[in-house]
Amino acid sequence: MHVYPAIVQGLESLGVRTAFGGNGENIASLTLALSRSDKIRPILTRHEQAASYMACGYAMYTRELGVCFATVGPGAFNLVTGLAVAMSDSYPVLALTGYIETRWEGRGAVNDTSGLNRTPDSQALFAATTKRSFKITDAEQTCDVLEEAVNIAFEGRPGPVHVAVAQNLTHRDVHVPDYRDPCLTVTPPQPDPAAVEEVAEELARALNGGRKVVLLAGFGAVHGGAQHEVRRFAERFQVPVVTTLDGKGVIAESHPLCVGVFSESGHSSAWKAFVEADLVFAVGNSLNQHATFGLREDLFADKTLIQLNISSSEIGKFYPARHGLVSDARPGLAAVTDALAAKVGERPPVTVHGQDYMSRHIPHVTGDIHPGQLAQTMGRMLPPGGVILADAGAHLAWLGYYLELADGQNFRKCGTFGPMAGHTNAAIGLKAAQPHRTVVVGCGDGCYAMSGFELMTAVENDLPVIWVVFNDAEFKLVKLYQLANYAHSGLVELAPPDFAAYARACGADGYRVDSIEDFRDAYAAALASNRPTVIDATITRWALPHYSSSPKGALHGAWEMLEERLRGH
């Protein structure tokens, strides 16, 4: 068996169902093997960057390996941004790329990335953006390398790995001597019973002592499938749940113990619950910038922090944690709940107040669509089990605030690395992984323009994603930042084309709407049609997303900023 066909067979044996990538001479044997596979569906993208985003989307809610591939040199380099997303957002992704003939390294070959004689260094680049980068230079290594790479992708906190195959190994006379299926031996980290006991003790002391406890759930709780455990914990101990933007939906947002999103653009009810809490139990949450009001130093000053995280490096990363429990979210939380139940009796029902985002009426002040109304409508009409992805920009704040998710629905913003276009394309991978779910993207006009050509890929592969473009003809987020910090704005205006006409030219459905009523009709048609659809929604520029730099409220935050400026910071 040749090297690339052996890799494809290995991936088949691991249950990989889809692979995303671009083509090139250097990986011609890989793409041939993929085109012949009856188990793996190859999806050829227009740009390799989109392939790596799609691999992330594929892994987002499945816990399966996302696979992307690209030829040597520029094709491989195009994968890097998506791998950085997989790295920061913990998706198990395998990137397969070509590599030149090893005897030509540094001698002037086309696409040389050996790092020799002023060529770019692909090993350094992939080492910097993956958990581990491998180069197969001997056919005998093929099965061992594939097995090790895949195990590393899933080990501990999942992430991306890279495998390059030298061109000289793709010649017809090179064979893998002893093919064997790779064995995936790693399992998600399980909780240490002694650490569980410590956490349960601390929580029991707090609850039995009448101190206020909140559970702060992040994307790790969603990705780790801990939804049921979050609800069980909250209901058994009558503990309010606040979520990060990425943890949104881990518990139905209409649940009486759900107090909303804790972030600068989140809900004041969640801020209040957090500020009043004596103990914060952070589950599957890295306590990154958006979940901490810009890494505020005093955020936990008067609180006890307990962290449950899949990675030990996340525990106490910035905020000192009284206790840390390293575990996959579901078994970790289940163990804590069981241990705590033995220490805490029945608890009186807690009433949480002020779910301020629920069913809020948004006044229609200008002729154009209000982005909050758009987000609210997208959420209300979302079918059971549907997913809404936001891209990078102000639109994510509207969506994070106004979507109200039911059990089984999901929302994910652009993640911690946060590239524009990331989720515009990840949605196609998500749809390929979970075709039974409705997949909707709420993206800015800037994000869509950066990568909307992958609509052709969605049409060609019959992947009916719905893109709702929050079209304000500007980089709203950047404009707001410039105005807030420098009192002026510049280079933020765009002149978007008619995205609906473009969609129709690609063979998708396209609608251009400038009233919420027309949006409702177009969205209903898109949900019913099962066809890739772009809805180009003209939104007003005269709306500001909810924002506060302090969990004590926008006024408090503004006062703090003023004080800081007066002190000359």
Ligand X SMILES: Cc1ncc(C[n+]2csc(CCOP(=O)(O)OP(=O)(O)O)c2C)c(N)n1
H or E element that contains 134: strand 132-136
In the complex, least distance from residue 370 CB atom to ligand X, rounded to whole angstroms: 13
CA gap 245, 401 in Å, rounded: 9
Alpha helices (H) in 2-158, listed in sequence order: 3-13, 28-36, 48-60, 74-78, 80-89, 122-129, 142-154
Q: How far is the CB of 492 from ligand X (least distance, A)?
A: 8
Indicate the residue among 31 and 265 with the shorter CB distance to ligand X.
Answer: 265
Buried/exposed code over 400-416 (b: 16+ C-beta within 10 A; e: otherwise): bbbbbbbbebbbbbbbb
- Position 77 contacts ligand X (CB under 6 A): no
Strand, coil or helix: what is 114? strand
By C-beta, is 240 or 393 nearer to ligand X?
393
Is 368 near Mg ion (CB under 5 A)? no
Q: How far apart are CA 241 and CA 220, in angstroms?
A: 15
Total of residues contacting ligand X (CB under 6 A): 18
Residue 368 interacts with, from ligand X, Mg ion, none (CB under 5-8 Å by kind): none
Closest alpha carbon to 428 in 124, 20, 25: 20
159 lines the binding site for ligand X (CB under 6 A): no
Work out which of 470, 502, 511, 523 binds ligand X, going by CB under 6 A: 470
Longest dimension (CA), the chain: 75
# of chain residues touching Mg ion (CB under 5 A): 4
Applying CB under 6 A, does 242 fall inside the site for ligand X? no
| Count of beta carbons in the 10 Å neighbourhood of residue 389 | 28
Give dist(CA 556, CA 443) in Å, integer: 31
> Does 395 help bind ligand X (rule: CB under 6 A)?
yes
With contact defined as beta carbons under 8 Å apart, do 416 and 288 qualify? yes
Cα 482 from Cα 479, distance rounded (Å): 5
Question: To the nearest whole angstrom, how small is the minimum distance from the Cβ of residue 133 to ligand X?
Answer: 23
Residue entry with tokens 């009043």? 276
Task: Out of 191, 220, 331, 393, name the contact with ligand X by CB under 6 A.
Answer: 393
224 phi-psi bin (left φ>0, alpha ψ -120 to 50, beta other): alpha
Q: Which of residues 444-473 bind Mg ion (CB under 5 A)?
A: 444-445, 472
Does position 536 bind Mg ion by CB under 5 A? no
Which partner in ligand X, Mg ion, none is near 418 (CB below 5 to 8 A by kind)? ligand X
Residue 546 site contact among ligand X, Mg ion, none (CB < 5 to 8 Å, cut-off depends on kind) = none
Which residue number is nearest to ligand X in terms of Cβ? Answer: 444
Q: Which is nearer to Mg ion, 474 or 509 (CB)?
A: 474
Only one of the segments 170-178, 353-361, 386-394, 482-490 lies at the binding site for ligand X (rule: CB under 6 A); that segment is: 386-394
Residues 6 or more apart whose CB falls under 8 angstroms from that of 277 comprise 212, 213, 214, 303
Residue 472 binding ligand X, by CB under 6 A:
yes
Q: Which does 223 bind (CB under 5 to 8 A by kind): Mg ion, ligand X, none?
A: none
- Which of Mg ion, ligand X, none lies near 287, with the C-beta cut-off 5 to 8 A by kind? none
Please identify, using beta-carbon distances, which residue of 472 and 509 lies nearer to Mg ion. Answer: 472
Binding mask 218-237 for Mg ion (x = CB under 5 A): --------------------
Binding to Mg ion by residue 391, rule CB under 5 A?
no
Residue 477 contacts ligand X per CB under 6 A: yes
Q: Which is nearer to Mg ion, 147 or 445 (CB)?
A: 445
Which residues from 408-467 bind ligand X, rule CB under 6 A?
Answer: 418-420, 444-447
Angle between helices 48-60 and 80-89 (to 10 degrees): 20
Q: Residue 104 in contact with residue 112, Cβ under 8 Å?
A: yes
Q: Which letter does DSSP use for residue 239 in this model?
A: -
Measured distance CA(280)–CA(282) in Å, rounded = 6
* Residues binding ligand X (CB under 6 A): 392-395, 418-420, 444-447, 470, 472, 474-478
* Residues binding Mg ion (CB under 5 A): 444-445, 472, 476
